[in-house]
Chain A
Amino acid sequence: MSVWLNKPPRMPLPSPTRPTRLKDHVSATLRNPGSVRHFSMADWDLLIRQARNAGLLARVRHVLDQHNMVKHIPNEARWHFDAAATLADKQQLAVRWEMSQISQALVKLAIPVIVLKGGAYVMAALPAAAGRLFNDIDILVPREQLGPVEAALMLAGWNATGLSDYDQRYYRRWMHEIPPMQHIKRATVIDVHHAILPDTARYHPDSGKLRSRAVAVEGMPGVYVLSTEDRILHSATHLFHDGELPHGLRDLTDLDLLLREATEASDFWPRLTARADELQLSRSLSYALRYLRYFLDTPIPDSVFAALHAAAPNRLTLILMDAIFTRVLAPAHASCADVLTPAARLAAFVRAHWLRMPAHLLIPHLFHKAFIRSAPDNDVPKPA
């Protein structure tokens, strides 16, 4: 009871401790690549399975290579890493090609096209591109140009994907992006955004501010990437506003690589926290840094946590957030799950939507999603 009578000084809640029971081999290997020297075949088995589900096989290989550990991969297991690296290399080429196609398709509009996330890491040749696997390319364009952009992309072969009418309306009315567009020949997917968060979200950073600091990509007229700080803030925001996190750990390792590179500039951290404040993204940043420490031992000075203290949530929220995010950011594999993992995934899903929409929109939407399913069909297995 004394806690309530004499309110203690607020101390930052220490980082959550890693459970010893569950074996998250992927983050353990990324933290300490040398540990693979002592791996048994069962450990390699588990590492490959977890890393594959997390979309991190190629990145783990890249990190092992940097630490001269590839020679410790047993012959039997080696091909999994090499095949993933083959795919990642090909995807880097494909992303460059795809961006040149997008840039050509939009050149007549004479607008700045900002490439976001993975595509930006490749275009800006950042270490975060290494071993990165892609699902789609995200671009940000001025909102008033959405119509012409969509028309120009359709003319160049990208078409709206087969979503239900409900989904179409949902995207166009409430979201910060139009429905994904898929190229009829190459089957590549573009997400066209006009903001980094929906209008309905609690926080919606001004896209004009992001554009004002964007950096031109060399050799690709009209194509830009976000500035270093904005790129990191966007990546952090995305992680804590996205309902489904099949690649949560991958996105966290992206952030880890972005931060490690950015901290080479001496005044980076004050610039980052100031910019987070300006864009109303300090809360997302404080979460991201917290779980970066937890999963990947990213070197973050304590002074940064102190600077973000005002934006940090209260202790109870933080305890709940730890319970959720230490689970949902782990590799999506049975060996990394406990009895609370499904509940944590559901909680993260509802939370993300809660942040994206007010209740009078959210509740009908979740109802629709839960009971009126219209998911596109899976593939039928290709018979012999």
Chain B
Amino acid sequence: MKLLQLSPSELRQRLAGQGVWLRTGPFSLRVQSGIPSVAQGLVDLYGQFETRDSHHAFADFHVELNPPSPLRRWFRPQVDFSYDGNLPFKPLPLDQAYPMLEWGLNWCVSMHAHQYLIIHAAVVEKNGLAAILPAPPGSGKSTLTAGLVLSGWRLLSDELTLIDRLTGQIQPLARPVSLKNQSIDVIRAFSPNAFINRESHDTAKGTVAHMRPPTESVRRQHEVARPGWVIFPKWTAHAETRLTPRSKAQTFMFLAQNAFNYSHLGADGFRVGTSLIERVDCYDFQYSRLEEAVAAFERLAEQATPHAAT
């Protein structure tokens, strides 16, 4: 069944008790939390995701979000992210409980799922071909990703590109898209269809909110995609939209440095990385207007379609 089939009060009850079981991409989670904003985040953003009775089900990751101590309930309340009894992070202010769940889940996947080469990059798909968007923070990667998936591209992930080591295909991990600071308003203005949840302020990255993933992307979250492009987006004020080819060798080095587990995989990491680079076209992409950026990606997808069929 889907999570939205649970009433909000039932979901809250399960979440505070045994925990809520969820499937996202290839992973299953059990989330336990007594914090109302976490329950609300799941109601707002995970409605289309599959859930099960958590009692006897297997889960890949067992996570909890709860206040570190009952004493802290009134005085500067905080939240801890617990991964099956381990606390990988320092507690954060309670207001950041929901984003902490998302960051914590990214950590769970990037620290453990070594069946994939995991690159720190957003990834979207059109006509069977995936565009990998690696970029340092502040480059407008999340804004572009949100703009693309609101314009018909399929969301594979906004943060973790999972490359299957056996097939070289990209495994989707469609989850809410993280938006920061001005990009929250940019996306609200870009599309009235975007649902963005409540903002958390003063996080390590400023104000953060999450956008609900498109229903279609969630429905197709088990459908792998072929790598088509690696594109480095860069938002620059007043810049013209411009796509310029980029060296494959440099791109490979960047991806290796920005993979979470490249060094863990040893020689196989190199093999998976080089075979990825051989299959894709690499570009730098500069933009300032989101509509133009989306149009440029559209053209790229159209040009590549016949190529993709062969």
* Complex: A76 Cα to B26 Cα, angstroms: 9
Measured in the bound complex, the distance between the Cα atoms of B83 and A52 in whole Å is: 11
Is B59's CB within 8 Å of the partner chain A?
yes
A111 at the A/B interface (Cβ < 8 Å)?
Answer: no
Q: Which of the four size classes fits the interface of chain A?
A: 20 to 34
From known contacts A89-B266, A380-B204, infer whether A53 and B90 are also in contact, taking CB-CB under 8 Å: no
Q: Are A377 and B106 in contact (CB under 8 A)?
A: no
Task: Report chain A residues within 8 Å CB of B56.
Answer: 40-42
Bound-state Cα–Cα, A380 to B91, Å? 9
Complex CA gap A44/B100 in Å reads: 28
Beyond A381-B92, A384-B178, whether A53 also contacts B58 by CB under 8 A is no
Residue of B nearest to A379 (CB): B89
Q: How far is the CB of A50 from chain B (nearest CB, A)?
A: 9
B107 touches A83 (CB 8 A): no
Q: Does A79 contact B (CB under 8 A)?
A: yes
Q: Is the CB of A378 within 8 A of B90?
A: yes
**CB < 8 Å neighbour of A86 from B81, B104, B106, B265:** B265
B159 to A, closest residue via Cβ: A384
Assembly CA distance A334 to B87 (angstroms)? 14
| Chain A residues in 8 Å Cβ range of B90 | 377-380
- B279 interface hit (Cβ, 8 Å): no
Contacts of B85 in A (CB 8 A): 53, 332-334
Whole-angstrom distance from the CB of A341 to the nearest CB of chain B? Answer: 12
Closest A residue to B103 using CB positions: A381
In the assembled complex, the CB of B92 is this many whole angstroms from the nearest CB of chain A, namely 7
Within 8 A of A (CB), among B172-189: 178, 180
Measured between beta carbons, the chain B residues less than 8 angstroms from A77 are 58
* Binary contact readout B207-242 vs A (1 if CB under 8 angstroms, 0 otherwise): 010000000000000000000000000000000000
Min CB distance B44 to A, Å, is: 17
In Å, the complex CA distance between A378 and B264 comes to 22
A40 and B112 CA atoms in complex are apart in Å by: 23
The 8 A CB mask of A178-211 against B (1 = contact, 0 = none) is 0000000000000000000000000000000000
Which single residue of chain A is at the shortest CB-CB distance from B59? A45
**Neighbouring B residues of A380 by C-beta, 8 Å:** 89-90, 204
Query: Which of B57, B87, B100, B208 is the one whose CB lies under 8 Å from A41?
Result: B57
Q: How distant is the Cα of A306 from the Cα of B266 in the complex, in angstroms?
A: 48
Closest approach, in angstroms, between the C-beta of B154 and any C-beta of chain A?
19
- Whether A53 contacts B92 by the Cβ 8 Å rule is no
**Interface residue A382 (Cβ < 8 Å from any Cβ of B):** yes
User: Counting chain B CB atoms within 10 Å of each CB, which of A44, A74, A80, A86 scores highest?
Assistant: A86
B62 interface residue (CB < 8 Å to A): yes
Looking at chain B's contact residues, is the secondary structure mostly helix, strand, loop, or mixed?
mixed
B265 to A53, Cβ gap below 8 A? no
Please classify the interface of chain A as helix (H, G, I), strand (E, B), loop, or mixed, using the class held by over half of its residues: helix
Most B Cβ at <10 Å: residue of A44, A74, A87, A90: A90
A120 to chain B, nearest CB (A): 22
Judge if A340 is at the interface, Cβ distance under 8 Å. Answer: no
Contact B57 A83 (CB under 8 A): no
A381 to B98, CA, bound (A): 13
B89 touches A53 (CB 8 A): no
Interface string of B101-134 (1 = CB under 8 A from A): 0111011000011110000000000000000000
List, in ascending order, chain A residues with CB within 8 A of B263's CB: 90
B60 lies within 8 A of A86 (CB): no
**Contacts A42-B58, A90-B266: A52 and B205 contacting too (C-beta < 8 A)?**
no
Q: Whole-angstrom distance from the CB of B157 to the nearest CB of chain A? A: 11
Chain A residue nearest to B57 (CB atoms) is A41
Task: State whether A383 and B264 are in contact (beta carbons under 8 Å apart), knowing that A80-B60, A83-B115, A378-B89 are contacts in the complex.
Answer: no
Cα A285 to Cα B65 with chains together (Å) = 42
Using an 8 Å CB-CB cutoff, how does the interface string of B26-38 with A read, 1 for contact, 0 for none? Answer: 0010000000000
Residues of A near any B CB (own CB < 8 A): 40-42, 44-45, 49, 52-53, 74, 76-77, 79-80, 82-83, 86-87, 89-90, 93, 332-334, 377-384
A sample of 28 inter-chain contacts (CB < 8 A) reads A44-B58, A45-B58, A45-B59, A53-B84, A76-B28, A76-B58, A77-B58, A82-B115, A83-B114, A83-B115, A86-B114, A89-B266, A90-B263, A332-B85, A333-B85, A378-B89, A378-B90, A380-B90, A380-B204, A381-B89, A381-B92, A381-B100, A381-B103, A382-B106, A383-B204, A383-B205, A384-B180, A384-B205
